[in-house]
């Protein structure tokens, strides 16, 4: 790739006021949400339309300039920020915010990639429909970023991840052509699924500029409860019972360890819930009822009574109002912020078969606590999907730098245990730049070879988000 500095004047002319080069203007685009990676860039381009995106990518291809697509910059693995070479151009989709179409009969919505997730949810709601993708970053992340990372969140148990919610995409390819694949079809078996290749590719194969998304009916009522359990094993027994009793109306099942509740109480006191800091583990359950609030309340209360009687849960609180339900969710959603405020941390966004989670947590906790005395386990996440944020913080009062030096050894213990359980080292956050090397270690040679060939086919010049997902060759 060229190291000389191509002249930006043609881009500047085409992007009057939308090509940022002043360090004060570009700074917010160069550091990730976790403040773990800060890169440098030639410029930040802010297209308004798909054709704008195509012209930027064509310019980058012509001058061999790396392109780093960026949505809300809320990613957890450093995928949305450039390296520190200063050669890349950051392509921010944030100005592309049009809801292009809503079709309530087809139950689809087509949106520009830069629409914030809450804007998509609201547009669906205005049509009396539900767009069920939901995550704590929903006020800042974009639908393009959600698809590029194949985001999960708190509704996967019932509705699947971003891939399951997408019927079509519009993409600017690495040579600057536009592919309009915005088909609102539930069935389309016309060969290789290009849509599914771009979803989850983290900006390494092309730029997603718009998407056609699936909508669902709005539920008549939502119920939320917090239930205390002694262990992840007990949480799994509760999951099994809840799935039997609530069937498809069970829409959320999130677990958190005691330290999560304690950290929220310490750093985000407005979101604290005493039950969560007073028990080894807590589960947040949500049901979405198509009939009525009374029906939802009755089914939920019966479930919790049965769980008490079976000795599965030790305490519980059912939200008696929308405000209380929001408070329970605020507890859950503020865990990442509370953990970041507490100090240096290491995240493991892992999945294992749901049935293996209890043993995984017990054994891996024991190994880590024995090898790194005082290490603090911040374990939470989407238990109903077999996906835990099996995160760790430094021992109380210990220096962050010393702790971070142990990161490779800590990761090896966790990821070896994940591999042994038949799991994945990235359930929903992607690989970004954080897990490129580890992915090479844990994936089979044949998978890596197929991935490398795909990358070379879609991006022969290697300009699409280099160093993310795949190693630079």
Q: Is 381 in the site for ligand MLT (CB under 6 A)?
A: yes
Q: Which residues contact 4 (CB under 8 A, 6 or more apart)?
A: none
Q: Is 351 in the site for ligand FAD (CB under 6 A)?
A: no
Q: Is 389 in the site for ligand MLT (CB under 6 A)?
A: yes
Q: Tell me the sheet residues that pair with 109.
A: 102, 213
State both tokens at 212: 């056609």
Q: Which residues contact 236 (CB under 8 A, 6 or more apart)?
A: 354, 355, 357, 358, 383
8-state DSSP, 429: S
Q: Tell the smallest beta-carbon distance from residue 178 to ligand FAD (Å).
A: 13
345: three-class secondary structure by DSSP: strand
State both tokens at 447: 């998978």
Residue 468 touches which member of ligand MLT, ligand FAD, none, C-beta under 5-8 Å by kind: ligand FAD
Site residues (CB under 6 A) for ligand MLT, limited to 123-162: 136
Q: Which residues contact 421 (CB under 8 A, 6 or more apart)?
A: 352, 353, 356, 359, 360
Residue 34 or residue 183: which is nearer to ligand MLT going by CB?
34
Select from 69-77, 175-183, 240-248, 270-278 the region that touches ligand FAD (CB under 6 A): 69-77
Residue 55 or residue 299: which is nearer to ligand FAD going by CB?
55
Q: Is 136 in the site for ligand FAD (CB under 6 A)?
A: yes
Closest by Cα among 357, 301, 455, 336 to 36:
336
Residue 77 or residue 182: which is nearer to ligand MLT going by CB?
77
Site track 312-351 with ligand MLT (rule: CB under 6 A), x = hit? -----------------------xx----------x-x--
Residue 42 or residue 389: which is nearer to ligand MLT going by CB?
389
347: three-class secondary structure by DSSP: coil
Q: Tell the smallest beta-carbon distance from residue 175 to ligand FAD (Å).
A: 15
Distances (CA, A) of 191 to 194, 196, 279, 313, 434: 9, 12, 52, 49, 33
Distances (CA, A) of 342 to 264, 339, 376, 398: 10, 5, 11, 11
Taking CB under 6 A as the criterion, the residue among 132, 336, 386, 466 binding ligand FAD is 336
The Cα 82–Cα 19 span in angstroms is 16
The Cα 106–Cα 74 span in angstroms is 31
State both tokens at 336: 């990442």
Site track 19-38 with ligand FAD (rule: CB under 6 A), x = hit? --------------x-----
Q: Is 429 in the site for ligand FAD (CB under 6 A)?
A: yes
201: three-class secondary structure by DSSP: coil
Residue 426 touches which member of ligand MLT, ligand FAD, none, C-beta under 5-8 Å by kind: none
Q: Is 252 in the site for ligand FAD (CB under 6 A)?
A: no
Residues that bind ligand FAD (CB under 6 A): 33, 68-76, 79-80, 93, 113, 135-137, 141-142, 144-146, 148-149, 151-153, 202-203, 207-208, 336, 428-429, 432, 465, 468
Residues that bind ligand MLT (CB under 6 A): 76, 136, 335-336, 347, 349, 381, 389, 391
């Amino acid at each position: 790739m060229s190291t000389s500095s191509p002249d930006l004047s043609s881009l500047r002319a085409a992007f009057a006021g939308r090509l940022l080069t002043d360090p004060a203007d570009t700074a917010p685009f160069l550091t990730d949400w976790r403040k773990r990676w800060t890169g440098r860039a030639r410029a930040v381009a802010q297209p308004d339309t798909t054709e704008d995106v195509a012209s930027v990518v064509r310019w980058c291809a012509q001058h061999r300039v790396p392109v780093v697509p960026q949505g809300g910059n809320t990613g957890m693995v450093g995928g949305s920020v450039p390296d520190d070479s200063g050669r890349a151009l950051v392509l921010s989709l944030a100005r592309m915010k049009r809801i292009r179409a809503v079709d309530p009969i087809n139950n689809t919505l087509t949106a520009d990639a830069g629409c914030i997730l809450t804007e998509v949810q609201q547009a669906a709601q205005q049509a009396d429909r539900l767009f069920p993708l939901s995550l704590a970053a929903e006020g800042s992340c974009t639908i393009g970023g959600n698809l590029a990372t194949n985001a999960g969140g708190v509704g996967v148990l019932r509705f699947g991840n971003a891939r399951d919610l997408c019927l079509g995409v519009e993409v600017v390819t690495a040579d600057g052509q536009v592919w309009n694949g915005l088909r609102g079809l539930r069935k389309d078996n016309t060969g290789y699924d290009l849509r599914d290749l771009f979803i989850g590719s983290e900006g390494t194969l092309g730029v997603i500029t718009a998407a056609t998304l699936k909508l669902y009916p709005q539920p008549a009522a939502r119920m939320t409860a917090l239930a205390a359990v002694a262990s992840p094993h007990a949480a799994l027994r509760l999951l099994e019972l809840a799935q039997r009793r609530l069937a498809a109306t069970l829409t959320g099942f999130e677990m958190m360890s005691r330290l999560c509740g304690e950290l929220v109480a310490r750093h985000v006191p407005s979101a604290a819930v005493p039950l969560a800091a007073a028990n080894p583990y807590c589960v947040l359950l949500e049901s979405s009822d198509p009939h009525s609030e009374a029906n939802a309340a009755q089914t939920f209360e019966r479930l919790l009574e049965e769980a008490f009687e079976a000795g599965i849960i030790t305490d519980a609180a059912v939200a008696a109002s929308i405000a209380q339900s929001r408070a329970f969710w605020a507890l859950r959603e503020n865990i990442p912020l509370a953990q970041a405020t507490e100090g240096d941390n290491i995240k493991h966004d892992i999945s294992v078969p749901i049935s293996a989670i209890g043993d995984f947590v017990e054994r891996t906790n024991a190994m880590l606590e024995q090898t790194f005395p005082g290490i603090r386990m911040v374990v939470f996440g989407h238990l109903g999907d077999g996906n835990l944020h099996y995160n760790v913080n430094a021992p109380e009062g210990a220096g962050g730098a010393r702790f971070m030096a142990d990161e490779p050894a800590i990761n090896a213990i966790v990821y070896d245990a994940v591999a042994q359980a038949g799991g994945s080292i990235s359930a929903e956050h992607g690989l970004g730049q954080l897990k490129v090397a580890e992915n090479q270690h844990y994936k089979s040679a044949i998978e890596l070879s197929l991935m490398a060939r795909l990358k070379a086919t879609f991006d022969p010049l290697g300009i699409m988000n280099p160093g993310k997902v795949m190693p630079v060759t």
